Chains A and B, each alone.
Chain A
Amino acid sequence: MLVIRPLQETDLDDLFRMAGSAGKGLTTLPADRGMLERKISHARDTFSQRCAPEAGLYLFALEDIALRRCVGISGIQARVGLDEVFYNYRLSVTVNASRELGVHVRTPTLHLTNDMTDTTEICSLLLADSHRGGGNGLLLSRCRFMFLDDFRKHFSDKVFAEMRGVSDGGGQSPLWDALGSKFFDMEFAEADRLSGLGNKSFIAELMPKYPIYLPMLPPSARAVIGLVHDNTVPALKMLQAEGFNFNGLVDIFDGGPVVEAFVHNIRTVRDGINRHVLVRHQPVNLQVPVEERVMVSNRSFRDFRVTTIPAQLIGPDTVSLPRNVADALGVESGDPVRLAPLKGSWPSPIHSVRDYHKLDYGPRDFSSRG
Chain B
Amino acid sequence: MWLVRPAQPGDLNGIRDIAETQGPRLSSTLPRQEENLAAKIRQSGQAFAGQLAAGDAARFLFVLEDLDTGRIRGVSGIDARAGNGQPFYNYRRDALIHASHELGISRRVEVLYPSHALTDQTLLCAFAIDPALKQTDAFELLSRARMMFIAGHRTMFSDRMVVEIQGVQNSSGAVPFWDSLGRHFFDMDFETADRYSGMLSRTFIAELMPSNPIYVTLLSPAAQEALGQPHTLTRATMELLLREGFHAGCYLDIFDAGPVLQARTDALKTIVTSHCRELHAATADQGETCLLATGDGAAFRCTLASVSETLKGEVLVPVKTWQGLECSSGDRVRIASL
Residue positions of A touching B, CB distance < 8 A: 94, 96-98, 100-101, 103, 105, 107, 109, 179, 182-185, 194, 199, 202-203, 205-208, 210-213, 215-217
Least distance between B91 CB and chain A CB atoms (Å): 13
- B99 CB contacts on chain A under 8 angstroms: 205-206
B181 interface residue per 8 A CB criterion: yes
**A183 and B200 within 8 A (CB):** no
Once the chains are docked, how many angstroms separate the CA of A122 from the CA of B122? 60
Q: Give chain B nearest CB distance to A228 CB in angstroms.
A: 25
**Given contacts A103-B208, A184-B105, A216-B219, is CB(A205)–CB(B184) below 8 Å?**
no
Q: Is the CB of B186 within 8 A of A105?
A: yes
A206:B218 contact, CB within 8 angstroms = no
B196 at the interface (CB under 8 A from A): yes
Q: Report yes or no: B186 in contact with A103, Cβ–Cβ below 8 A.
A: yes
CB pair B186 A210 closer than 8 Å: no
The CA of A68 and the CA of B41, in the complex, are separated in Å by 93
Tell whether, in the assembled complex, residue B212 and residue A211 are in contact, meaning their CB atoms are under 8 Å apart: yes
Which B residues, 168 to 220, have Cβ-Cβ distances below 8 Å to chain A? 180-181, 184-188, 196, 200-201, 203-204, 207-210, 212-215, 217-219
Whole-angstrom distance between the alpha carbons of A199 and B101 in the complex?
A: 12
Task: Indicate if the CB atoms of B212 and A210 lie closer than 8 Å.
Answer: yes
Distance A215 CA – B180 CA, assembled complex (angstroms): 9
Residues of A within 8 A of B200 (CB): 100-101
Q: CB distance A217 to B218 under 8 Å?
A: yes
Q: Does B111 contact A (CB under 8 A)?
A: yes
Q: Are A183 and B109 in contact (CB under 8 A)?
A: yes
- A202 & B187 in contact (Cβ 8 Å cutoff): no
Q: Which residues of B contact A179 (CB under 8 A)?
A: 218
A199 touching B208 in the complex, CB below 8 Å, given contacts A96-B185, A103-B187, A216-B218: no
- Decide yes or no: A213 and B107 within 8 Å by CB, A97-B207, A98-B204, A101-B196 being known contacts: no
Which A residues are CB-close (under 8 A) to B210? 94, 96, 107, 213
The closest CB in chain A to the CB of B101 belongs to A202
Residues of B in contact with A (beta carbons under 8 Å apart):
98-100, 102-103, 105, 107, 109, 111, 180-181, 184-188, 196, 200-201, 203-204, 207-210, 212-215, 217-219
> How far apart are B181's CB and chain A's nearest CB, in angstroms?
7
Q: List 16 A-B contacts (CB under 8 A).
A: A97-B208, A100-B203, A101-B196, A101-B204, A103-B187, A105-B186, A107-B210, A199-B102, A202-B102, A206-B98, A206-B99, A210-B212, A213-B214, A216-B180, A216-B218, A216-B219
* Complex Cα gap A194–B219 (Å): 28
A184→B207 CA distance, assembly (Å) = 33
User: Does B187 contact A105, Cβ atoms closer than 8 Å?
Assistant: yes
- Residues on B with beta carbons closer than 8 Å to the beta carbon of A98: 203-204, 207-208
Main secondary structure of the interface of B (DSSP, over half): mixed
3 A-B pairs with least C-beta separation: A215-B184, A98-B207, A182-B217
Q: Which residues of chain A come closer than 8 Å to B204, judged between CB atoms?
A: 98, 100-101, 103
Q: Are B107 and A184 in contact (CB under 8 A)?
A: yes
Evaluate whether A105 and B208 lie within 8 angstroms (CB atoms) in the complex, with A203-B100, A205-B98, A213-B184 already known: yes
Look across to chain B and name the residue whose beta carbon is closest to the beta carbon of A211. B212
User: A96 and B109: CB pair below 8 A?
Assistant: no
**Candidates B103, B201, B215; contact of A210 at CB < 8 Å:** B215
Contact B187 A203 (CB under 8 A): no
Docked CA distance A179–B207 (Å): 27
Give the Cβ gap from A314 to chain B, nearest Cβ, in Å: 53
Expressed in whole angstroms, the Cα–Cα distance for A212 and B111 within the complex equals 12
- CB-CB under 8 A from A199, the residues of chain B are 102-103
Chain B hits for A182, CB < 8 A: 215, 217-218
CA distance A182 to B200 in the complex (A): 38
A107 CB to nearest B CB, Å: 6
Contact A202 B213 (CB under 8 A): no
Chain B minimum-CB-distance residue to A206: B98
Which of B99, B180, B186, B201 neighbours the largest number of chain A CB atoms within 10 Å of its CB?
Answer: B186
**A202 B100 Cβ-Cβ under 8 A:** yes
Q: How far is the CA of A207 from the CA of B217 in the complex (A)?
A: 12
What's the nearest-Cβ distance from chain A to residue B12, in Å? 26
B184 contact set on A, CB distance < 8 A:
105, 107, 213, 215-216
Report how far A226 CA is from B111 CA in the complex, Å: 26
Query: Are B100 and A205 interface neighbours, CB within 8 A?
Result: yes
- Nearest residue, chain B, Cβ from A104: B187
Least Cβ–Cβ distance between B25 and chain A, in angstroms: 19
Give chain B residues whose Cβ lies under 8 Å from the Cβ of A97: 207-208
Bound Cα distance from A353 to B210, whole angstroms: 59
Given known pairs A96-B210, A105-B208, A215-B184, the reply for A206 and B217 (CB within 8 Å) is: no
Other than the given A100-B204, A184-B98, 8 more pairs (CB < 8 A) read: A96-B186, A96-B209, A98-B207, A101-B188, A103-B187, A107-B185, A212-B215, A215-B184
Contacts of B201 in A (CB 8 A): 100
Nearest opposing residue in chain B for A179, CB measure: B218
Do A202 and B186 have beta carbons less than 8 Å apart?
no
Contacts of A109 in B (CB 8 A): 212
Closest to A215 in B: B184
- Given the complex, which residues of B lie within 8 Å of A212, measured CB to CB? 215, 218
Report chain B residues within 8 Å CB of A105: 184-187, 208
B103 touches A203 (CB 8 A): yes
Across-interface contacts of A208 in B (CB, < 8 A): 109, 215
Known: A107-B185, A203-B100. A210 touches B218 (CB 8 A): no
